[in-house]
């Protein structure tokens, strides 16, 4: 049903979905009344999955179900719509009607033989799958398959996280520094570079940042098109082309701890930094991990400014070399809930149940208002850091889709410029700019501001600027080394913001 533009593909998907449904319903009928209940539940939840596929373009895969598994009330409200009830209710009603025709007698040998015949028919039907549907079986089989994989992955996650390898080799720190060094990563959410005035956007969405001495990198590629993929890759040795290390090794945070840094993670990202998630496993490498209490309240808004009082608390601690990660909710769905009323400059806004129900203009206006709030947050950060030896790195995990049929983001869309072109900016406090060694490193970074860079460089750039020596460091991926090479992305070229793939 995701391929409306191709009638043949759609017809084959519908035919296969019918065949699979017959086999599944027959198999469930062998369980009597329990089977009927399970079939109705399957039809009901299939309607929910279909809603997300049609409204947001989410393909049915284990990543989609893992995302739903880890969501919080704020994210759930951002995608809720009366249409969701229509899809779910419609699926439940159709499932109930079909269940009424299912037999209730106890299964016999003949029923087992008939079920096997249906399974054989399903297996024989697989070659009919069009190329566009490979790996995405039509519902309900695809739904059941990927849901099962997602559940299995959640069960295994704790053991997999515990098995992450410590990065090899000794860790040493450059000598001869005066005063503690603060390295702060302000990691935003769903922020597109092309909606920032400082990047040339037609609207003045960054009035405060444009007055700051920021080093702006014009073309930066995100490590992923979804939060989990991007955050885990940018903070580990993983690269966009070779992401395996994101799930098997510890992050750069562990290296900073071994070098004697205080490590801090402050967040209002409830779904990603709490519970057993890959992002949480990295966050909890920090010796100090704090989640803003607003993530546990349904009615409250999650705003970047939530993190400023939490940062104030950290900055009042005893002076020490410190690495701080600020993981904020940025412009995530629904952007209308990401800013205070004083930032509601552009209107009309997207104030409906779901962004899928808003017109393009309404969603863009709410999104741009949320960027204004983020801009004020960045200014608040620099105000707090200007009296310290501090380097602030500002970026986002990925962008967002704001126009057209589909909204939001999806880990599959690595070839979509709207999701991959994200901001990357640096702020150095006055004392950093006056330090001979560190100012020299900043000059090396300035030489790359017009060159393509990526999140691949973050791991090594953090180490390089902090003067942390370790065998895993690569100077050709360090923005501050003077030897960094421009990034060549394997998925997309940033020549425009037209969506290159509907899925």
Band of residue 339 on the pLDDT scale cut at 50, 70, 90? very high
Residue 15 CA, distance from chain mean position: 34
- For residue range 432-491, list pLDDT tens digits in order: 999 999 999 999 999 999 999 999 999 999 999 999 999 999 999 999 999 999 999 999
Whether residues 247 and 115 share a domain: the answer is: no
- For residue range 272-325, list pLDDT tens digits in order: 655 567 888 899 899 999 988 877 665 668 899 999 999 999 999 999 999 999
Could you tell me the two tokens for 86?
Answer: 């229509």
- For residue range 357-371, list pLDDT tens digits in order: 889 999 999 999 999
pLDDT attached to residue 360: 94
Mean of the per-residue pLDDT values of the chain: 84
pLDDT attached to residue 452: 96
Band of residue 94 on the pLDDT scale cut at 50, 70, 90? confident
Band of residue 260 on the pLDDT scale cut at 50, 70, 90? very high
> What DSSP assignment string belongs to 396-416?
ES---B-SSS--B--TT-TT-
Whether residues 17 and 127 share a domain: the answer is: yes
Q: In this predicted structure, which of 133-137, 176-180, 403-407 has the lowest mean pLDDT?
A: 133-137
CATH code of residue 224: 3.40.720.10
- For residue range 177-222, list pLDDT tens digits in order: 678 999 999 999 999 999 999 999 999 999 999 999 999 999 999 9
- Whole-prediction pTM value? 0.79
- Is the pLDDT assigned to residue 406 strictly greater than 70? yes
- For residue range 21-30, list pLDDT tens digits in order: 777 777 777 7
- Is the pLDDT assigned to residue 75 strictly greater than 70? no
Whether residues 260 and 334 share a domain: the answer is: yes
Among 162, 183, 215, identify where a domain stops: 162
| Residue span of the structural domain in which 129 resides | 7-162
pLDDT attached to residue 5: 52
Element (H, E) at 44: helix 33-56
Whether residues 266 and 377 share a domain: the answer is: yes
Q: Comparing 263 with 2, which gets the higher pLDDT? A: 263
Eight-class DSSP state of 221: E
Q: According to DSSP H, which parts of 108-214 are helical?
A: 109-125, 141-162
As a whole number of angstroms, the distance between CA 342 and CA 400 comes to: 23
- For residue range 102-132, list pLDDT tens digits in order: 766 655 555 666 667 766 766 666 665 554 4
Structural domain tally of the chain? 2
What residues form DSSP beta bridges with 428?
391
Among 136, 162, 188, identify where a domain stops: 162
Q: Comparing 328 with 154, which gets the higher pLDDT? A: 328
Q: Tokens 């040493």 map to which residue?
A: 172
| Residue 445 contacts residue 257 (beta carbons within 8 Å) | no
CA geometry: angle 302, 206, 399, nearest 5 deg: 60
At 288, is the secondary structure helix, strand, or coil? strand
Q: Is 152 within a domain? A: yes
Q: Comparing 384 with 58, which gets the higher pLDDT? A: 384
Whether residues 309 and 417 share a domain: the answer is: yes
Mean pLDDT of 336-355: 91
- Is the pLDDT assigned to residue 41 strictly greater than 60? yes
- Is the pLDDT assigned to residue 503 strictly greater than 50? no
Mean pLDDT of 236-242: 96
Q: According to DSSP H, which parts of 265-315 are helical?
A: 270-273, 278-283, 307-315
Q: Is 412 within a domain? A: yes
Among 162, 178, 212, identify where a domain stops: 162
């Amino acid at each position: 049903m995701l391929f409306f533009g191709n009638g043949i593909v759609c017809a084959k998907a519908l035919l296969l979905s019918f065949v699979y449904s017959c086999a599944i319903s027959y198999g469930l009928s062998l369980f009597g009344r329990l089977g009927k209940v399970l079939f109705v539940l399957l039809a009901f939840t299939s309607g929910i999955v279909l809603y997300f596929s049609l409204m947001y373009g989410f393909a049915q895969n284990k990543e989609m179900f893992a995302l739903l598994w880890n969501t919080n009330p704020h994210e759930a409200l951002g995608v809720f719509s009366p249409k969701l009830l229509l899809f779910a209710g419609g699926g439940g009603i159709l499932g109930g009607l079909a269940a009424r025709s299912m037999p209730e007698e106890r299964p016999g040998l003949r029923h087992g033989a008939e079920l096997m015949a249906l399974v054989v028919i399903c297996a024989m039907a697989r070659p009919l799958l069009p190329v566009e549907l490979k790996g995405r079986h039509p519902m309900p089989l695809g739904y059941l398959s990927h849901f099962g994989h997602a559940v299995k992955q959640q069960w295994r996650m704790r053991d997999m996280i515990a098995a992450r390898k410590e990065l090899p080799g000794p860790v040493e720190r450059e000598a001869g520094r005066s005063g503690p060094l603060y390295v702060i990563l302000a990691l935003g959410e769903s922020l597109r570079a092309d909606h920032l005035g400082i990047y040339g956007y037609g609207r003045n969405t960054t009035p405060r940042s444009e007055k700051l001495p920021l080093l702006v990198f014009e073309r930066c590629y995100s490590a992923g098109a979804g939060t989990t993929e991007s955050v885990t890759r940018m903070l580990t040795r993983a690269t966009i082309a070779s992401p395996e290390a994101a799930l098997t090794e510890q992050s750069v945070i562990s290296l900073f701890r071994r070098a004697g840094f205080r490590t801090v993670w402050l967040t209002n990202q409830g779904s990603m930094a709490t519970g057993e998630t890959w992002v949480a496993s990295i966050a909890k490498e920090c010796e100090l991990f704090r989640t803003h209490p607003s993530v546990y309240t349904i009615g409250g808004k999650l705003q970047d400014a939530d993190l400023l009082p939490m940062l104030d608390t950290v900055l009042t601690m005893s002076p020490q070399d410190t690495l701080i990660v600020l993981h904020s909710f940025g412009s995530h769905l629904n952007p209308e809930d990401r800013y205070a009323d004083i930032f509601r400059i552009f209107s009309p806004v997207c104030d409906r149940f779901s962004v899928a129900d808003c017109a393009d203009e309404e969603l863009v206006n709410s999104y741009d208002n949320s960027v204004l709030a983020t801009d004020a947050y960045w200014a608040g950060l620099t105000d707090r850091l200007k009296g310290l030896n501090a380097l602030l790195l500002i970026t986002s995990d990925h962008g967002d889709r704001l126009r057209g049929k589909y909204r939001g983001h999806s880990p599959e869309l690595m070839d979509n410029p709207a999701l991959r072109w994200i901001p990357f900016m640096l702020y150095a406090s006055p004392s950093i700019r006056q330090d001979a060694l560190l100012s020299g490193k900043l000059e090396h970074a300035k030489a790359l501001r017009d060159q393509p860079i990526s999140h691949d460089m973050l791991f090594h750039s953090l180490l390089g600027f902090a003067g942390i020596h370790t065998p895993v460091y690569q100077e050709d991926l360090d923005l501050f080394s003077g030897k960094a090479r421009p990034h060549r992305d394997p998925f997309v070229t940033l020549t425009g913001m037209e969506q290159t793939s509907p899925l």
